[in-house]
Structure 1
């Protein structure tokens, strides 16, 4: 799971007092392998990305331990930490007693059972573990030298995209069938950085969540981006902005649109972004095919080093307009458009209205074929 998964989890802790002050009526009973008697076990909830709030502790005895769970009025993301073991076991506290099987040598493979939410979380983690193993195996099929071959690189990237599409389809189905379960929000958050899903799909998927889930702290956090028109959304008129070109001249979005193209693609990227490097050949090919038919592109780089920015432009043959303030994520355009991951793009019509967001790979080609293919 990506780091955003854990970052977003932090907003779940809305009231520690309400969680800890009620009578403890449930418990988690676990079996654990290859851990000495007396090993401490800690039960916590996550307050932010780096801070766990401990609520209780226990000790391993004869390969088992038991933790009391506080009564809660909503599903709460919780953690078990075992002294001397790297990583945590994640689970959902939802006023039910639970059982667990913990594997210290493969902590992510641990299983917590006893409620629907934990079954969903366990199944999802198992699925992601299998997909990650497949991705590793996929990358190991090729040597560094082979991946320098454009044909092999294209084949590899096609396999990666097929895998990403399968992961998106699986996650979307889980969310649609579990619209009121806290893990569905985690699954949704994991989709954000995948190149195989568009903003409009994320917007529609967020709409599948129950009102109860949307009103949780985490649901509200995600809703700021995907549930309503904050920043820029499909149907909005794009915000104008300006920055410096590689030649040091000021260039605005409006000036690029005034060049007479029928559509303008704003592409947020950076030379250091691996997903951007994978995606950029697709953008280059689309530009070559549709530029003369009416497609303009304005790339906004999140680089900090000018030489790396300029070298990447030349390397990929990105023969369109570029701007950057060379200050990474601390960029007015990034804040204006509320960009949270890259590559991210916004497709505008000739009136500056956003008609699609986060088009990548085959989706970008398909959209431009639909708009300009017959011209």
Structure 2
């Protein structure tokens, strides 16, 4: 009996090992002691880490609980940058090498991986990804960078003329041979992109690869992208990434539905239930945004104006940040000085509302608890509030 028990335990241990992917991540230019996270990529959801490891001697070792092929995004914990975008599956023992590349935008540092220096070994899944689309994406990035670098001078001159509102200079530059050549290269680039991607999607429509590739390629989806989903096989549609793609091309509407309650986690770490913040109010506007999102920041003056016009009449705005970095979020709060409650999403609030792109806004009738407006911005938001709060 003891032999049988020991044998069963051994089998369970072996199965446990093979039901995960072991990844040793070698990172240059990031200090030892830094925490690195791993999360599922290409879902268009606010994914939480599935594993975390601390760099020691330039290495971070992960045991990823994946039972089938998944895209994994590795990041410095709390940073919006991405060190590595890599496919793996159960049973693989992967070694990956990456060199950090830092970019500062609006005073915030993003720690990315230098694609030109990254290497992934012993992952047949990642190798297949590179063959199907990864290498082509890298080629497009190099192509794009090359022609932008080649025409940097004329671009800088035009931008400078635009800023100075010097229309005569802008017109003269646009008629130059250099500018015309740039337009030609730009046109050829987008022609290549729009022709090649659909071919690759169609060639893999029998498996999960096609929906994964579509999710990996596009930053947002419109009804025009439904054809790419509709042509998939049933197996591809029912795959993990097939279901993720369906949510993007056939998004669930929330009009008339009860809003999902949530806690607002403020910059001091205090949680306040949303229902408490809207007590005595008539309407609540839930605003999903992030410090790095330029359209979100551009919308803030409009939000401040509608808040000034309608707060006394029963409007409450609650802003929910999708920043990974607390520092970046708090810096933006200091700059924007938002006069309404705001918090950061640490519990999947955006997932409950199927947020695809930001800014995303939902208007709630407090009396009924139902959503009466989706993705209202600018004039459409002002008109809706004028109708409701006469």
**TM-score between both structures, scaled by the size of structure 1:** 0.44
What TM-score does the superposition give when structure 2 sets the normalisation length?
0.43
